[in-house]
A and B are shown apart, each in its own frame.
Chain A
Amino acid sequence: MIALLMRDLRLALRAGGGFGLGLAFFLILTVMVPLSVGPQPALLSSIAPGVLWLGALLACLLSLDRLLALDWEDGSLDLLATAPLPLESVVSIKALAHWITTGLPLVMAAPVLGVLLNLPVPGFKWVVISLLLGTPALSVIGTFGAALTVGLKRGGLLMSLLVMPLYLPTLIFGAEVARRGAIGMDVQTPLLMLAGISAASIALLPFASAAVLRINLR
């Protein structure tokens, strides 16, 4: 399992691996928002948590179509399915590698980009905490979407359409934590909901992804 994780991380960092693409997209998107809404610091402050969350979500989505498709195309997925590793752990490791190469950099970049959006000071902490809790769910749900569309040519767009509705609960509660935190309200309820969504996704979805993948490999 560690071998698979190390291989995926190495592949992401090598030429053409796509590491940093999601991060760059996140950066450009959040730079463009203040340019598009104009010089209104008060408005920016109030939409900053939501924009950061949406940006992170879209950046995550952008890198999903390569998650399993590359392994499917070159036959690695067939070989991994016949290897001693259960497919459940293969998809879990893939999701973990995706989170390390995409989710974690987004979490770390969010406070820096918060400055651009005039995020209120108490909000920085909660943006980071909510993204840290929420991005693993985005990776795991995204892996499920990637497993559903793995055999399809040009499955990327279809996958986005399938995955985005599944991202809604995470987005709603994650952005709510950040928004409440930014204006100094109590964050406990949405925080618990967000943590619950993440925990449930991580616990259950790898089984669904593996089942779907077995069907797609036939």
Chain B
Amino acid sequence: MSLVITDLCIARGGIPVLDGLSFTLEPGQALILRGPNGIGKTTLLRTIAGLQPPVSGQVGGSEDMIAYAGHSDGIKPTLTVNENLTFWAEVFGTKGISNALKSFDLERLRDRPAGELSAGQKRRLGLSRLLVTGRSIWVLDEPTVSLDVKSVAMFATAVRAHLGQGGSALIATHIDLGLDCAVLEVGPFKAKLPAIEDFDGGFL
């Protein structure tokens, strides 16, 4: 199933940040989003993931297909690596976490409480969650923060394997992942609209 974005306008706190954005993400494709800080990459990804409504335009083909990974990993420090991953596997109704543990080299850490992991290890655990969701469209917000070179390569391998299985990925990042894919510079889509006049906070 492909993700179709049509003429999307998104706002953060009542101020339109990106406008007139259209693209299509086919199965097997990855798309890298680039742009300076504050341009609205996170807002765009959250809108696509369905966490907030767009001001106008449509997000098509995303229903129950998206695995979202944001700035925080959603890891419980008092649960072990194993328990954290098993929980997400059960929530998404999938079985088996061994592949996810193996892909991100977490097997040796599986019985450690997640609170004792380093920042990079936590991030790897957060990313391995994507593999247990069984969802086909990955929407990732700066997935490589705090990862070392080896782990970035590990992540790129996991993305390639995911694309190979007919999945797709939308990644906002500032670094070169070594993936052979299209890059979308969101800077030119910066909204020139004024702030929404009758914006009443959350209750739109």
Contact = CB atoms under 8 A, between A and B. Distances in A.
Interface of A: 2-4, 7, 10-11, 14-17, 71, 73-76, 78-85, 215-218
B76 A74 contact: yes
Main secondary structure of the interface of B (DSSP, over half): loop
Interface of B: 46, 49-53, 64, 66-76, 78-79, 83, 87-88, 90-93, 129, 133, 202-203
Nearest to B91: A83
6 contacts: A7-B79, A11-B79, A75-B74, A84-B64, A84-B91, A85-B91
A85 B64 CA distance: 10
Nearest to A215: B202
B78 A16 contact: yes
B49 A82 contact: yes
B78 A83 contact: no
Given A215-B203, A216-B202, A74 B74 contact: yes
A77 to B, nearest CB: 8
Given A3-B87, A76-B74, A81-B51, 17 more contacts: A7-B76, A7-B87, A10-B79, A10-B83, A74-B74, A75-B72, A75-B73, A75-B74, A78-B51, A79-B69, A83-B88, A83-B92, A84-B91, A84-B92, A85-B91, A218-B46, A218-B52
A15 B78 contact: yes
A154 to B, nearest CB: 19
Contacts of A76: 74, 76
A14 B53 CA distance: 37
B90 A3 contact: yes
Contacts of B83: 7, 10
A3 B75 CA distance: 15
B97 to A, nearest CB: 13
